Every structure is written in structure tokens, then in C-alpha cells.
Amino acid sequence: MSAFDYNKEALKNLKFEDTKILDRLVDFESARSAHLKKDHSRRDKRVSLKEAIGEFVRDGDVLSDTGFSYVRTPMQAYFEILRQKKKNIQMIGSPNSNQSYMIAFGAACYSHNSYSGAEMRGYDRAYSRAVIEGKTRILSEWSHGTMAQGFKAAQLGVPGVFSKQLLGSDILKYNPYVKVMQNPMRADPDPVVFVPALYPDIAIIHVQAADRFGNARMYGPPINDIALAAAARRVIVTAEEIVPPGDIRSNNKGVVIPFTAVDAVVELPFGAAPGSMPGYYYWSRQWWEKLMRWACQSQANINEYFEHWVFSCKDQFDFIEKLGGAKWVAMSRRLTKAEEYDNEDLGFDFSYKEFKSLETETGIYY
């Protein structure tokens, strides 16, 4: 492993004495070695979710959150990480909306922070409380853009990129990885921020369809997932459907992840629930509202919430039954199809019973 020279002001502000925990995210040599050792053959990579998480997610890994908050995010894979009691994970993602419950149950001990929340559903108090109480340690602070640039640099195989992002921001004082320096192409003063290539250990990417080899088709915003598929040392693809290779060749629009980057393929219908999967199902607004507005208020609440929704469920089908079973499937499909104008939306009612408190809760999640 290489020796690294970090942003000294950030190290001081974050009170680092030993910087070894920072190294793996930017260690190009070990990432390149992992990529070269990967089996790039065109072989059947299908395994169960339990097998994929058991083999490819390891204690102490740097795990990248994928999708966007609750859009095309591998929620059911994250729940399986909790069931298998993985630990000492560093989580990085932009946004990092799924870090708080990973921290709450001891899976994630370290955070590369960007933004945590669920937009209009509520502020993530569990994450704030975990930081204040020392249940997690923030290793670095990022903007969405600079984190994306770090993943992109890794995808391109370059040491990093020069950026104008973060200039004028205090984030610079709390990110050991980034440095302000002179633009080497300018003779006059022109400060730029060097953003290093970022190499997570593991990325789990949920897609609409994949073949048995790992070629994956994605519909909707890719966010950082295309870059992460190339950057991460290990990649698990979970898919709503497994299609034959001929379908990938014939319908190649949106085929953005090649099989050579993928270590495991999991057929996982409803793998993004209770989030949304463009073209397949809508997100459960009530589930997220209850998480943010009630469960995140205390550790006792989140324990109760996840016992019901995660630890007492053996798989995603148990989860779907609790959301409402066949009616949830039909309603969420209709919602997403209407929203995307694939179904008639004229006269369609998008309203629902918002979760505000336990006293007014309806128990309906569609």
C-alpha cells in the first residue's frame, strides 16, 4: 500500500492521529490489483442474495451507497447486510441517506458524509444523533459534485481531477483527501481543488435487468453507478429481472454496466422496495415518512421499526406482504407508470394518507 500525504488542516480539525483508516479509499495500487485478479470470463454469476452478501461484503469494507437516496437503491441488499451482522464498514455515497440505519445497528462505524435525509419526508435525526453520541466517526466531508468527480476519476483510471468545486467552502477544512493548489496550466494565480480518484471496496447496484453474466441495463438516473461499477474492487448487481444475453444485445439502450466489472448477479424482484424503481414500482411514501418522522427520533423507535420491517422478514417477499402484498404491487406499479406517462395520468389521484403520528397512522403503505 502506498504512503499518502493528506490535507493537514482537515486532519487537525477531524482530530486524526492515525491516518491508516483513510488509505484504502484512495489506494490505487490495491484497487488495480483487485481489478486485475478479478475473473473477467463470460460465465454464469447468478447467486442468491444471502450468498452474494456473505461472500462479497466483508467486515471493514468501504461500501458505496448507490442509486439516489430511495430511487433505484439496493434497499433489500442493505437489509441483508444488517441480517448478516456485518461490521466496521465505512460508508460513502452521495447522498448517504441509507447510512443512518446501517450505523444504528452497528454495521457502519465510519462515514464519508455528503447529505443525509429524504427530502420532504423529513430530516434524518438518527444520523445526527449517531455523530453526536460517537456511534460513528466522520472521516471526510464532501459535496455531491466532488464525490462524483472522485468516482469518475477512478473510472477513467487517472489519479484525480482538478476542480473549482469546494473553493470558498468550509468543506475543504474537513476533508483530508482534497487539496487546494495552483492550476498548473496557468501562470497567474488560479486556485483549483485536487480531488483524488476514489475506490470503494464494494458497490451493490440495483438495475432493471441483467443477464446471467452481469451485463446490466439501467433505466432512470444513473447517478454515480456507472463510474462506481468501474471503480469498486467488487461489484454485486441485483436485478428486477434476469434476461437472456440475446435480449441485452437486441435491446442495448441503457446497458451501461459490462459483465467484466461484475462479480455476482442476484435476481431480486422488488430489490429497491420500499424505494422506487423507475418503470416498475413507486416508493412507499408512508414508510419513509414513518422512518424519518418517528423511527429516527430514538434508538428504541428505530429498533422497533427495523425488527418489524427487516429482522422479522426473511426476504423481500415478506417485506412486500407487510407493505400491502398484491395491492401494494398493483398500486405502486400504477403510480410509477402514471408518473412516467407510460399510463394515463389524466384523472389519476396521486394523493395519499400522509404519516404524521402514531395516533393518526392508517397502517396503509400505498
- Give pLDDT tens digits for 200-234: 999 999 999 999 999 999 998 899 999 999 999 99
Residue found by looking up cell 466517526 in the block: 137
C-alpha distance across the termini of the chain, in Å: 50
Residue 338 grid coordinates: 402514471
Give the residue from 60, 37, 31, 263 showing the smallest Cα distance to 150: 31
Residue 243's contacts (CB-CB under 8 Å, 6 or more residues apart) are: 209, 210, 211, 217
Alpha carbon of 17 to those of 12, 220, 317: distances in Å?
9, 42, 46
Residue 262 grid coordinates: 461484475
**SS3 track for 198-255:** CCCCEEEEEEEEECCCCCEECCCCCCCHHHHHHHCCEEEEEEEEECCHHHHHHCCCCE
Q: Is the pTM of this model over 0.75?
A: yes
Please tell me the predicted confidence (pLDDT) of residue 115: 82
Task: Answer yes or no: are the C-beta atoms of 268 and 49 closer than 8 Å.
Answer: yes
Query: Do β-strands 160-163 and 179-182 pair in parallel, antiparallel, or remain unpaired?
Result: unpaired
What are the φ/ψ torsions at residue 57 (nearest 5 degrees)? Answer: -105, 120
Give the residue from 213, 278, 208, 207 showing the smallest Cα distance to 244: 213
Percentage of the chain modeled with pLDDT above 70: 98
Instruction: Identify the band that residue 320 occupies on the pLDDT scale cut at 50, 70 and 90.
Output: very high
pLDDT in tens, 138-191: 999 999 999 999 999 999 999 999 999 999 999 999 999 999 999 999 999 999
Mean pLDDT across the chain: 95
Q: Is the pLDDT of residue 238 over 90?
A: yes
Residue found by looking up cell 496550466 in the block: 185
Task: Answer yes or no: are the C-beta atoms of 178 and 161 closer than 8 Å.
Answer: no
Give the residue from 1, 72, 77 showing the smallest Cα distance to 33: 1
Instruction: Identify the band that residue 94 occupies on the pLDDT scale cut at 50, 70 and 90.
Output: confident
Residue 307's contacts (CB-CB under 8 Å, 6 or more residues apart) are: none
Please tell me the predicted confidence (pLDDT) of residue 111: 97
What are the φ/ψ torsions at residue 242 (nearest 5 degrees)? Answer: -105, 120
Instruction: Identify the band that residue 119 occupies on the pLDDT scale cut at 50, 70 and 90.
Output: low
Please tell me the predicted confidence (pLDDT) of residue 124: 85
Q: Is the pLDDT of residue 1 over 60?
A: no
Please tell me the predicted confidence (pLDDT) of residue 344: 92
Question: Domain spanning 1-273: which superfamily?
Answer: Glutaconate Coenzyme A-transferase (3.40.1080.10)
Please tell me the predicted confidence (pLDDT) of residue 206: 98
d(CA 43, CA 33): 21
Task: Answer yes or no: are the C-beta atoms of 235 and 64 closer than 8 Å.
Answer: no
pLDDT in tens, 240-292: 999 999 999 999 999 999 999 999 999 999 999 999 999 999 999 999 999 99
Task: Answer yes or no: are the C-beta atoms of 91 and 63 closer than 8 Å.
Answer: yes
Q: Residue type at 183?
A: N
Domain ranges (residues) in the chain:
1-273, 285-360
Residue 136's contacts (CB-CB under 8 Å, 6 or more residues apart) are: 99, 103, 108, 109, 110, 111, 127, 130
d(CA 123, CA 172): 24
Longest dimension (CA), the chain: 66
Q: Is the sign of the CA dihedral 251, 255, 260, 264 positive or negative?
A: negative
- Top mean pLDDT of 69-73, 270-274, 359-363 is at 270-274
Please tell me the predicted confidence (pLDDT) of residue 77: 98
